[in-house]
Amino acid sequence: MRTYHEEYKRKLISLEEAAQLIQSNDIIDYGMFPTKPVDFDIALSKRAGDPNLTNVAIRGTGGVLPIPEVVKNDPEQKSFQYFSWFFTALDRKMGEYGLATHLPANYHEANLMATDTSLAHIWPTVWVAQTTPMDKNGCFNFGLGCSHNRGLAVNSKRLAIVEVNQNMPRCLGGNDEYMHISEIDYIVEGSNTPIFTIPAAGAPTPEETKIAEYIMAEIPNGACVQLGIGAMPNLLGNMIADSDLKDLGVQSEMFCDAYVAMYDKGKITNAKKSYDTNKSTYAFCLGTQDTYDFLDDNPLCGACNVNYTNNPTNIAMHDNVIGINNILEIDLLSQVCSETSGLRQISGTGGQLDFIIGAFHSKGGKGFLAFSSTFKDKEGKVHSRVRPMLTPGAVVTVPRTTVHYLVTEYGIANMKGLSTWGRAEAVIGLAHPDFRDELIKDAKEMKLWSRTNKTPF
């Protein structure tokens, strides 16, 4: 049997040697989510301020702890600038100090951007990410971050480097879930730091529970369920686990903890999917260690590139796709913002738009945008998430023509085909009662609303 031990030894270098390979003007992609390099980042950060190393762009997707050392050790950005394709709480905090910049993108296009020759000018010169140890076939599995790792790696212009971590779960394909040693330039062995985990979701609020109950009533047996990031999707997944629903399928950008609960209760079979029957497909995972253990070497699940999981055309091939995502605010025109608070970047477009479009085009599919009707600021003042117009500077994540279902603790509304009057009426009906009179006044001033309008739309 062929072995790859000699090739492994030839390509194995120290972390310090790997860091010395970085040159001025390099574009480095740092993997994504829990696959970002840890020990390589520490080694590279020691070159911060080196006069022979300037203008190095480092890109991540969904930053997780630990804080990148290249950011901590180079606050004046003499050597490194940090960018993120999808803002997390960590990226947001760095952004507030001017240490991280957002790269807007539709998530399903991430792999295409990494492989389309018309975008070769933004391809990385260096790719480095954590992987599993090499298997007997010479393959390094991307673990929890399949997504667009392979696209970035094989199209890196100069170097592809893997940082081996024995703690990385081996997430079976799917597709594009590995790199072969022949495709890798160098290997570094890290200190096997624990893989980043998120705490289990806390107790839901009464508002969240009510929202979930509205959505539960809309989910049929055999549905293909996409759960987004946040407390609400996880809450809904756990409610599904305790329901009478059966034969559910999974196609999702993120594999979250709630899917494990759904598997444990026998709700997921994937038997009704149009393709990938009997297998849950996903692009990445962020969760607890229990979820990582569930995915490790589990043939019930397939890690795939994100164009495969999130392309709206692919999503729509399944019947009864149910997509559930959170939003930050909405205006009386029914424009949805899910990623900024004014000009402050909170998250990113991610796959929300992908699944709203895909679910609507799925036979029997429904795309839900859920939000509590109010929120409190730092001073404890209550504000409405329904606004006359989006906060100045807010980004439109889902255009009004694409919005399907909206849900708050005060009800659920199907927005498709509604007039501007009907949209304002529906959105006001989802707002907290304390704010409705003012919103009606605003709608009148905007010439959107009239009590005398009796049409159903």
Q: Which H or E element spans position 394?
A: none
Cα–Cα distance, 331 to 302 (Å, whole number): 38
- Tokens 């009590």 found at: 451
Q: Contact at 8 Å (CB) between 7 and 181? A: yes
Strands ordered across the beta sheet of 224-227:
301-303, 280-285, 249-255, 224-227, 321-326, 366-370, 405-408, 411-414
Q: Contact at 8 Å (CB) between 82 and 72? A: no
* Buried b or exposed e, range 327-356, using 16+ CB within 10 angstroms: bbbbbbbbbbbbbbeeeebbbbbbbbbbbb
Angle of CA points 343, 232, 174, to nearest 5°: 95
Beta bridge partners, 223, equal none
Cα–Cα distance, 58 to 203 (Å, whole number): 37
User: Which among 85, 94, 24 has a CA at the least distance from the CA of 66?
Assistant: 94
Q: Residue 70: CB partners within 8 Å, gap ≥ 6?
A: 41, 44, 45, 48, 58, 79, 80, 82
Cα–Cα distance, 70 to 303 (Å, whole number): 29
Cα–Cα distance, 431 to 410 (Å, whole number): 7
Is 207 catalytic? The answer is: no
Tell me which of 69, 253, 329, 425 is the catalytic residue: 253
Number of Cβ within 10 Å of residue 122's Cβ equals: 12
Token duo for residue 391: 């906060």
DSSP state of 119: G
Which residues form the catalytic set? 253
